[in-house]
């Protein structure tokens, strides 16, 4: 965990506090299922945070369909140089996200209640991230217009990544993206067997 969130005690404390809120209030609000509690660190929080290795310094990041704050909050904790906007349309989730930010005092993250297609202005984010939101083609239509030219969409996927890239390549091009890359993050950081859940990420740069 320390290798993902650095060695500063403050960063690790924030991550632990976030997991604590997910496993209590998050369950009460229906954002996390009770069965997910044993897997919160490995499957959810750490596999979100390691995506930071694909994000440039001082980037403006949008987390589309943030839900309970994944991957945006772990990214904001791991990388205090980033500015992270959590884009979420559902009010009860927005309320939870604001409570988390206030309770933990995370300074580099904000919440925007909005659907992706309603975000204004578009075309300004350096990176648009998402996790377990929609099929890749549909996701590209929502996320790529939010990225600046030369920016990127990072979609955290599972075993379906290669299949989705092959199936939706025309949609990626139509949405303004270039060739999709499938990257694996966190293999060098998640050394504890309990936490060895690297993230498979489909990266698509916006080219037009």
- What is the CA angle 195-30-201, rounded to 5? 40
Q: Report cis status (omega within 30 of 0) of the bond before 121.
A: yes
* Residue pair 22/93 in contact by the 8 Å Cβ criterion: no
DSSP string, 32-54: S-GGGGGGIIIIIIIHHHGGGGG
- Model confidence, pTM: 0.93
The yes or no reply on domain 2-205 and CATH 3.40.50.150 is: yes
User: Tokens for 89?
Assistant: 């349309």
Asked whether 51 and 154 are in contact (CB, 8 A), the reply is yes
- Give the count of alpha carbons within 13 A of 89, CB side only: 7
- How is residue 152 written in tokens? 């990127």
In which element (H, E) is residue 64 found? strand 60-64
Helix (H, G, I), strand (E, B) or coil at 124: coil
Query: What does the alpha-carbon distance between residue 70 and residue 181 come to, in Å, rounded to a whole number?
Result: 21
| C-alpha to C-alpha distance for 173 and 170, rounded to whole angstroms | 5
Looking at residue 198, what is its pLDDT? Answer: 67
User: CA-to-CA distance for 153 and 67, rounded, in angstroms?
Assistant: 18
The tens place of each residue's pLDDT in the chain, 208 residues long, gives 657 887 778 889 999 999 999 999 999 999 988 988 888 987 889 989 999 999 999 999 999 999 999 999 999 999 999 999 999 999 999 999 999 999 999 999 999 999 999 999 999 999 999 997 889 999 999 999 999 999 999 999 988 899 999 999 999 999 999 999 999 888 777 655 344 456 899 999 999 8
Tokens encoding 166: 């092959």
Q: In the prediction, which pLDDT does 191 show?
A: 52
Question: Which residues on neighbouring strands pair with residue 182, listed in sequence order?
Answer: 202
pLDDT given for residue 196 in this prediction? 44
């Amino acid at each position: 965990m320390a290798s993902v969130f650095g060695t500063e005690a403050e960063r690790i404390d924030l991550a632990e506090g976030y997991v604590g809120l997910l496993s209590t209030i998050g369950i009460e609000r229906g954002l996390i299922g009770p069965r997910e509690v044993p897997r919160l660190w490995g499957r959810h929080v750490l596999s979100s945070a390691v995506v930071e290795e694909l994000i440039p310094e001082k980037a403006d990041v949008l987390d589309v369909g943030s839900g309970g704050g994944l991957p945006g909050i772990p990214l904001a904790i791991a990388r205090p140089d980033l500015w992270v906007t959590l884009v979420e349309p559902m009010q009860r989730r927005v309320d939870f996200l604001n409570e988390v930010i206030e309770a933990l005092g995370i300074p580099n993250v904000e919440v925007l209640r909005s659907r992706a297609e309603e975000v204004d202005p578009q075309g300004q984010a350096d990176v648009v991230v998402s996790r377990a939101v929609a099929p890749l083609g549909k996701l590209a239509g929502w996320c790529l217009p939010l990225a600046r030219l030369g920016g990127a969409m990072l979609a955290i996927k599972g075993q379906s990544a290669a299949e989705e890239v092959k199936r939706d390549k025309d949609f990626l091009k139509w949405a303004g993206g270039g060739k999709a890359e499938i990257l694996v993050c966190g293999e060098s950081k998640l050394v504890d067997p309990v936490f060895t859940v690297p993230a498979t990420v489909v990266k698509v740069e916006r080219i037009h």
